[in-house]
């Protein structure tokens, strides 16, 4: 329970699959409590005795099915069943009792659907619940209005339910748009980071070779540390941690021979090839996911400058509005690119200096619109020859 509560309070750090699992567990717990209250109350419902026995029995069995699906990690199926379960419970109250309590169950049903924040489920199940609620209000308006009915009370009940539905529909649509924008920004930033990390890895390899150092995966201390950590982690899930040693040997072997050699080897089993393929993204002799994790982890603990409001504004016109400063900034950028090593050559070595044509294409590309204004790009196009003559690399 302590671990579950910790996961609930830290859901922003969990993947979406884990968040859905936590949500369905909370909804299942809520439905279990509602069912526990419904069973004794069903004695007073307008049903025959057989119905009062069969329906609660079906509800209890359904709860058991939901628990089994959660244990099997069938989260999406569990979500659908909990929603259908809530609608069925609403039906049970609709037909068994009349009045305000049955009306409240439509809000409970919509709340459960909203809780999952799934647009398709809300548009289907939520719209069906709204239509069902409107139908109930129209056909049971006498019971809802009370002994002294007020003029327009039916419209009030329908309006409140419809507003509840529309408000959360807009909220879900807003969240969908926000998540889509964040995902787009994340993919875009990831693409930029990958490009920089490729160059960073190539540069680090150049430094390593210049200093005549062995690769990290060949270091005996590193191999020993990885072995001890792997055994410790493996023993948290298995009885014997030494079994992970074979995987570690395969991991080092992939670095030496390469993945293609292992996959095409007739001496290795299919199971070994599958494990080798899964280890491929953790290699250290090229820019893999593991290398990205190491870079991100290392840079996370480096001290940075104090916070500034424009810290992440990379567009030059956001940093200054003076025309002369804008031109000087462009001149500095051109001078640096024309005289310093900034890209890899055809063999992947960080030894290449950009030519004037490459800098021109870069300055006038669509990507540079995020850093330079249209006026600045137009100014560069008109004066490209002057930039090359006075700021370019002198042979």
**Which pLDDT value is given to residue 96?**
67
| CB burial readout 71-84, b (16+ within 10 A) else e | eeeebeebbbbbbe
| CB burial readout 285-322, b (16+ within 10 A) else e | eebbeebbeebeeeeeeeeeeeeeeeeeeeebbeeeee
How far is residue 164 from each of residues 89, 117, 119, 130, 300, measured CA to CA in Å?
Answer: 20, 15, 15, 9, 44
**Which pLDDT value is given to residue 8?**
57
**Which pLDDT value is given to residue 167?**
92
**Which pLDDT value is given to residue 360?**
92
Question: What is the DSSP annotation of 204-220?
Answer: HHHHHHHTTPPPGGG-H
**Which pLDDT value is given to residue 2?**
62
**Which pLDDT value is given to residue 147?**
45
**Integer Cα distance of 392 and 390 in angstroms:** 6
**Which pLDDT value is given to residue 214?**
87
**Which pLDDT value is given to residue 165?**
92
**Which pLDDT value is given to residue 181?**
84
**Integer Cα distance of 285 and 275 in angstroms:** 18
**Which pLDDT value is given to residue 209?**
87
pLDDT in tens, the chain (395 residues): 566 566 656 655 566 777 888 888 888 888 888 888 877 777 767 677 777 788 888 888 888 888 888 888 888 888 899 999 888 888 887 776 666 777 888 898 999 999 888 888 889 999 999 999 888 888 876 666 554 555 567 788 889 999 999 999 999 899 888 888 878 887 787 777 887 888 888 888 888 888 888 888 888 888 888 888 888 888 777 767 777 888 888 888 898 888 888 888 888 888 888 988 988 888 888 888 888 888 888 877 777 777 676 666 777 877 778 888 888 988 999 999 998 888 777 776 777 888 899 999 989 988 888 888 888 889 999 999 999 988 887 65
């Amino acid at each position: 329970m302590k671990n579950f509560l910790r996961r609930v309070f830290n859901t922003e750090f969990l993947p979406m699959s884990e968040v859905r699992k936590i949500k369905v567990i909370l909804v299942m717990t809520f439905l279990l409590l509602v069912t526990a209250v419904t069973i004794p109350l069903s004695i007073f419902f307008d049903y025959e005795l057989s119905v009062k026995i069969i329906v609660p029995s079906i509800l209890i069995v359904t709860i058991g099915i939901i628990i089994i699906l959660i244990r099997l990690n069938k989260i999406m199926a569990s979500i659908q069943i909990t929603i259908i379960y809530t609608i069925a419970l609403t039906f049970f109250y609709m037909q068994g009792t009349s009045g305000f309590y049955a009306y409240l169950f439509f809000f409970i049903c919509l709340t459960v659907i909203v809780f999952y924040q799934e647009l398709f489920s809300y548009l289907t199940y939520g719209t069906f619940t709204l239509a069902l609620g409107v139908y109930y209000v129209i056909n049971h308006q006498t019971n809802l209005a009370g002994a002294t009915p007020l003029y327009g009370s039916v419209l009030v009940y329908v309006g409140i339910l419809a507003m509840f539905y529309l408000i959360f529909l807009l909220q879900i649509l807003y969240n969908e748009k926000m998540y889509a924008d964040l995902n787009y920004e994340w993919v875009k930033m990831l693409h930029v980071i990958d490009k920089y990390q490729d160059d960073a890895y190539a540069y680090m390899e150049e430094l390593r070779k210049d200093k005549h150092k062995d690769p990290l995966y060949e270091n005996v201390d590193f191999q020993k540390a990885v072995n001890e950590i792997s055994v410790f982690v493996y023993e948290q899930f298995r009885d014997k941690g030494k079994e992970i040693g074979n995987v570690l040997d395969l991991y080092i072997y992939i670095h030496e021979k390469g993945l293609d050699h292992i996959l095409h080897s007739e001496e290795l089993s299919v199971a070994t090839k599958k494990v080798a393929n899964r280890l491929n993204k953790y290699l250290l002799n090229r820019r893999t996911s593991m290398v990205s994790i190491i870079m991100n982890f290392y840079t996370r603990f480096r001290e940075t400058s104090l916070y500034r409001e424009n810290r992440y504004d990379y567009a030059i016109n956001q940093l200054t509005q003076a025309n002369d400063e804008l031109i000087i900034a462009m001149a500095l950028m051109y001078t640096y690119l024309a005289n310093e090593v900034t890209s890899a050559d055809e063999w992947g070595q960080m030894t290449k200096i950009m030519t004037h044509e490459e800098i021109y294409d870069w300055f006038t590309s669509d990507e540079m619109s995020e850093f330079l204004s249209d006026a600045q790009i137009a100014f560069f196009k008109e004066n490209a020859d002057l930039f090359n003559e006075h700021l370019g690399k002198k042979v």
